[in-house]
Every structure is written in structure tokens, then in C-alpha cells.
Amino acid sequence: MRAGLAITAIAAGFAGTAWAQQAAAQGDARHGKAISYTCLGCHGIDGYKNAYPMYSVPKLEGQNPDYLAAALHGYRDGDRAHVTMHSQASELTDQDILDIAAYFAGKPLTATGKAQGSVPQAAALCVSCHGQDGVAIAPMYPSLAGQHQDYLVRAIDEYRKGGRKNPVMKGFAASLKDEDVAVIAQYFSRLTPALSTESRPYTRLTAH
């Protein structure tokens, strides 16, 4: 009897996971596009920078939608410290987050499964999740291929200094020296297929 209950509970747990994954895949990109106009003011401009400190706004196109949704939850719920992104994300419902993630991801990068040149020693462990070619091996991990080099340095620093609280990345980042971070950021930023800046559907000149 007890064993039976336990098995039912485990099965329900798996069903719950499957449902969550399905839900993540079900973002409505059309609605995401409709509500993300302000986002493109930063994410849709090539080379746009965050000020104080100065670093590039991350590229989102080609990223995994599950990861984009997790990142937005992080800003909204305080696991990531960034004032502008916190206020942007606090306006969004859970469904808005799924929809925006689906829109911004577009067609997520496809892994080539091959390393490009030799993986630097400092990145040897990182590629087990972020991929030999910088394309993440699972949808909840971010792809790093082609991401801005200065943004990668900033992101790793945030895990090291506690501005980002994700326990997995905090652990991996903690032991890195500044020289390692520089090598890692350079390596991933040069890989292809690469993430890209969102194309901006309207500009002040074309919008009616």
C-alpha cells in the first residue's frame, strides 16, 4: 500500500516535470513580439552598452527559450541584481515571460558537436554544459557562442560576487581567476554558430 502510494507520487512528480517542459515550449511568440517593444530599445540595437559599469547588452536571438524564461524570473524575483532588468521583468506575468522568451529566442542555435580549435584549459569543465562549440547541451543552460566578450566577463563576475545567486554557476565561477575569466570569455565569444542581436522590427523612422 505504502509502496504503491510512493510510486504514484514519483509518477506524479515526473508528470509535473513533463508538464513544465511542455509549458516552456508553448510560449506564444506573436504575443511576445507585441509586448516587447521597449525591450528592443536596448536588446535590438547592435553594440548597445549598459552604463556604470560599461558592458554590452546581451544578445538574445538564438538563445534557448527555457533559459531566457529562467533569466527573466531571476531578474523579477531577485536572484539576479540589475535595476533596469528588475523593473522591466516585474511588469511581466509568467505567461508573458514564456511568450517573450519564445519570441526573442527565435530559432535556437543548433549544436555542431565539434570543438573549434582547442578548448582552453580554464573552460574544460564549462563545455560539459555550455557545449564544445558554445551551444548549450540542454535547453535550461544558456548558449555562450558569439555572446559579447565583455558581457560574458560581467556575467561570470556577477556569479563570483553574488549579484547572481544561481547556486550551480556560483560554484563553478568561484574558483576562477581573472586571467581564466578573460580566456573563457574570449573563447566563447568567438565561436559559431553565434547568438545575435535581435533585429529591430521598427525604428523611429519606420514606425507608423
Q: Which three cell numbers stand for residue 82?
A: 540589475
Using the minimum distance from each CB to ligand HEC, give the nearer residue, 7 or 115: 115
Is 93 a binding residue for ligand HEC by CB under 6 A? The answer is no
Is 126 a binding residue for ligand HEC by CB under 6 A? The answer is yes
Is 184 a binding residue for ligand HEC by CB under 6 A? The answer is yes
Using the minimum distance from each CB to ligand HEC, give the nearer residue, 29 or 164: 164
Cβ-contact 105, 36 below 8 angstroms: no
Residue 165 CB burial class (10 angstroms; 0-12, 13-18, ≥19) = middle
Report how far Cα 151 is from the mean position of its chain's Cα atoms: 12
| Closest C-alpha to 156, from 169, 137, 139, 142 | 169
Is 194 a binding residue for ligand HEC by CB under 6 A? The answer is no
Judged by CB under 6 A, which of 105, 135, 155, 191 binds ligand HEC?
155
Is 50 a binding residue for ligand HEC by CB under 6 A? The answer is yes
- Angle formed by the axes of helices 149-161 and 178-189, to 10°? 140
If you compute the radius of gyration of the chain from its CA atoms, what whole number of angstroms results?
A: 18
- Residues forming contacts to ligand HEC in the complex (CB under 6 A) are 36, 38-39, 41-43, 50, 57-58, 60, 68, 70-72, 74, 80, 82, 84-85, 88, 100, 125-126, 128-130, 140-142, 144, 152, 154-156, 164, 166, 168-169, 172, 176, 184
